[in-house]
Structure 1
Amino acid sequence: MSKVRVALVGVGNCASALVQGVAHYRNASADEFVPGLMNTQLGPYHIQDIEFSAAIDVDRSKVGKDLSEAIFTQPNNTPKFSDVDPTGVTVSRGMTHDGIGSYMADTVIKADGQTDNVI
């Protein structure tokens, strides 16, 4: 069976909840009730078929870290509800051509260096 490969653009709170949820429910049976999900299986695909293949962010505190570590890095504040094994996905430096939003400008420190060509 092939995998559902997922690239995350922005490793913030939503990404943290998604990555933790996939790790937490990875071994749920196909007929198991899982809070927050309608189904553990969609067609031939099960939660365990989700594979994170890339992650992009601009925050200096996240770029260069494994995704499993970056999701728990400040300023993220999603509660930890699941351990996440190392993914082998290093967070790449994203583009900041449109700047950093005014609400996050005092919190997010842009990573040094050139943007990574992840396309």
Structure 2
Amino acid sequence: MSKVRVAIIGVGNGASSFVQEVEFYRNVTDNELVPGFMHVNLGGYHLSDIEFSAAIDIDK
């Protein structure tokens, strides 16, 4: 399948945690338990299919 390109708006602690977790668990198999993710494979897309392409943060 093709990659899923993701843009994150609001680059705080939550976004940082999400990016780090996706990168850390990128190569797990479909039947492994991953803390923080309910499913490693969703709709045919695996964690390894997520590609972060942009991040935007707004400062007042």
Asked which structure has the greater RCO (Cα within 8 Å, sep 6+), the reply is 2
Q: Which has the larger radius of gyration?
A: 1
The separation in 1 between residues aligned to 2:58 and 2:44, in whole angstroms, is 35
Report the TM-score, using the length of structure 2 for normalisation.
0.89
Q: Quote the residue 1:90 is aligned against.
A: none
CA deviations on 1:3-58 (whole Å, 9 max, x unpaired) are: 11110111111110110011011011010011111111012100000011111123
List alignment gaps of at least 5 residues for structure 2: none
Structure number having the greater helix percentage: 2
* CA-based RMSD: 1.2
2:32 counterpart of 1:32? yes
Structure showing the higher strand proportion among its residues: 2
Matched residues, number: 60
Q: What TM-score comes out, normalization by structure 1 length?
A: 0.47
Tell me the distance in 2 between the aligned counterparts of 1:43 and 1:31: 15
CA distance in 2, matches of 1:39, 1:9: 23
Unpaired stretches in structure 1, ≥5 consecutive residues: 60-99, 101-119
Alignment match, 2:45: 45
Equivalences for 1:77-116 in 2 at 5 Å?
Answer: 100=60
